[in-house]
Amino acid sequence: MDPALAPGYLAWIAHDGEQAHIGVGGYPGMFDPAQALEEFRTSLSEIIDLRHATWIERRGGRIPVGGVLRNISNRRGLLVGDAAGAVSPLTAGGLDPCMRLSTLAAKVVGEYLQSENAQVLSAYSGGIFRTRFTSRLWMRRALANVRQPALMELGCASLRLPILRQFAWHVFFGRGSFPDINLEMPAHVPVRAD
């Protein structure tokens, strides 16, 4: 977590034994992703030897990190998991929310395909979930405003204190961190075949 390389988010490296995946993320207006990626790659020499590595590809894209997006469905598809903003790539605390959101998505898709009623899709709305992400959104805003690496280190270290550790656990991993939804779908509307 470096506010210069990844303002408001993080940089990562994941090595699966064959390939190393290296990346940076942050608020788009606060850094140059290509430059930050190169700086991060250069800084990794103490962790992993990349001198003989073959660069396979470079990809980029947006990762929603501010809670579930407001618009996660339309007639062409539904977003689930981290594509919908339900998972926290920062903590990996998201498998449970992803599964619950996927269960809801499956119910909505089943009803939509059976009824062909587009109103059914309104039951799968990010607005339903956003109030549960208030604490995450405040934490994300606080992280975005940290500009000094030493402050970031202090903040992470302070999460080891008992009261703050309980708060972080609740926000990122607790059962209440993602709501269960009792699905109330619009009444089934039969479609007339002409």
pLDDT tens, position by position, 175-186: 655 666 665 555
Does 163 have pLDDT greater than 60? yes
Model confidence, pTM: 0.60
pLDDT tens, position by position, 132-158: 666 666 766 777 777 788 888 888 788
> Using CA atoms, how far apart are residues 85 and 63, in angstroms rounded to an integer?
8
pLDDT tens, position by position, 78-127: 998 878 887 665 555 566 677 778 888 999 999 988 988 888 888 888 88
pLDDT of residue 99: 79
Q: Specify whether the CB–CB gap between 134 and 72 falls below 8 A.
A: no
Mean pLDDT for the stretch of residues 42-57: 84
Does 35 have pLDDT greater than 90? yes
pLDDT tens, position by position, 4-19: 888 877 888 887 888 8
pLDDT of residue 36: 92
Q: Specify whether the CB–CB gap between 159 and 168 falls below 8 A.
A: yes
pLDDT of residue 3: 83
pLDDT of residue 52: 83
Question: Can you read off the two tokens belonging to residue 194?
Answer: 């002409």
Q: What is the 3-state secondary structure (H, E, C) of the chain?
A: CCCCCCCCCCEEEEECCCCEEEEECCCHHHCCHHHHHHHHHHHHHHCCCCCCCCCCCCCCCCCCCCCCCCCCEECCEECCHHHCCCCCCCCCCCHHHHHHHHHHHHHHHHHHHHHCCHHHHHHCCCHHHHHHHHHHHHHHHHHHHCCCHHHHHHHHHHCCCHHHHHHHHHHHCCHHHCCCCCCCCCCCCCCCCC
Structural domain spans, the chain: 11-46, 73-177
pLDDT of residue 189: 47
139-165 exposure pattern, b = at least 16 Cβ within 10 A, e = fewer: bbeebbebeeeeebeeeeeeeeeeeee
